[in-house]
Amino acid sequence: MVSSLYEPINVYKPLAADIGIVDGPLEYLIVGGVKLPLPFTTRMTVVRLSNGELFLHSPIKFDERLAKELRDFGTVRHLISPNQFHYAHIGEWQKAFPEATAWASPRVRQRARARRLEVHFARDLDLAPPQEWRRDIDQTLFPGGYFKEFIFFHLPSKTLILTDTIINIEPDKISEPWRTAVRLTGMAAPRGGIFFGMRIPLILQQRAAQAARIKIHSWRPQRIVLSHGRCFETDADRTIERIFGRSSL
């Protein structure tokens, strides 16, 4: 199984003022304690708040050189688990930055406990942004049953920060049978879409889904950052309309 990385990895890549991404190493899906032969790329989004504190969305595997780079950029303060599947490295970052606060997504504590991962979540994410970052970042909960996640919007750069809500995998970066699988499930770049696992829950949670869509449209994002696959750095409005429908719906 071959999969290529978004190199260079473990390096901060600016997208706009005070926001950038760090591509990480490959990881493997573990189901019921079994590592599946499905490597996927990882990505963390870093926002520098107006008070100089850093918001680390979905922290990737800890790396000392990267930690030093971030220390020069701001004060690592918030470690975000946007959904119950993205949390595995928060404990490593907490060890290096004991002053940082880890923010929990629904069910993530149980999941971490079941996997015996040491991580202490001091706070819970909520439908509205906390006072700690609401000047710079808005948020809401995107429904999707088991896969629901908190989504964020960096106000100054108009960047929508998603985790698994949209998957946009570049087929030439993966091998078969996954290449065919991402195409068949509508998750292949450049026309990636809603993560297939969320689609039925979204039908069953129409009101919550509609509220989230209205929120996304109201933000008018200019850029969409994803945790897996290629981000949408231009024409975000067209992508949002294609995936979430028109704003008047």
Cis bond before residue 201 (omega within 30° of 0): no
Looking at the Cβ atoms of 10 and 81, the one nearer to Fe ion is: 81
What mask of x and - would describe binding to Fe ion in positions 202 to 241, judged by CB under 5 A? ----------------------------------------
Q: How far is the CB of 227 from Fe ion (least distance, A)?
A: 5
CA 231, 234, 239, 241 dihedral sign is positive
Q: How far is the CB of 135 from Fe ion (least distance, A)?
A: 28
Cβ-proximal residue to Fe ion, closest one: 164
Looking at the Cβ atoms of 12 and 40, the one nearer to Fe ion is: 40
Looking at the Cβ atoms of 213 and 228, the one nearer to Fe ion is: 228
Q: How far is the CB of 30 from Fe ion (least distance, A)?
A: 12
CA–CA–CA angle 196, 201, 205 (5° rounding)? 140
The CA distance from 70 to 129, in Å, is: 23
List C-alpha distances in Å: 39 to 27, 29, 71, 153. 5, 7, 30, 28
**Footprint on residues 152-171 left by Fe ion (CB under 5 A):** 164
- 3-state SS, residue 197: helix
Looking at the Cβ atoms of 38 and 155, the one nearer to Fe ion is: 38
**Footprint on residues 43-82 left by Fe ion (CB under 5 A):** none
52: left (phi over 0), alpha (psi -120 to 50) or beta: left
Looking at the Cβ atoms of 49 and 166, the one nearer to Fe ion is: 166
Q: How far is the CB of 199 from Fe ion (least distance, A)?
A: 16
| Contact call for residue 136 and Fe ion (CB under 5 A) | no
102: left (phi over 0), alpha (psi -120 to 50) or beta: beta
Looking at the Cβ atoms of 49 and 150, the one nearer to Fe ion is: 150
Number of residues that bind Fe ion (CB under 5 A): 1
Reading the block at residue 147, the tokens are 């896969």
Residues that bind Fe ion (CB under 5 A): 164
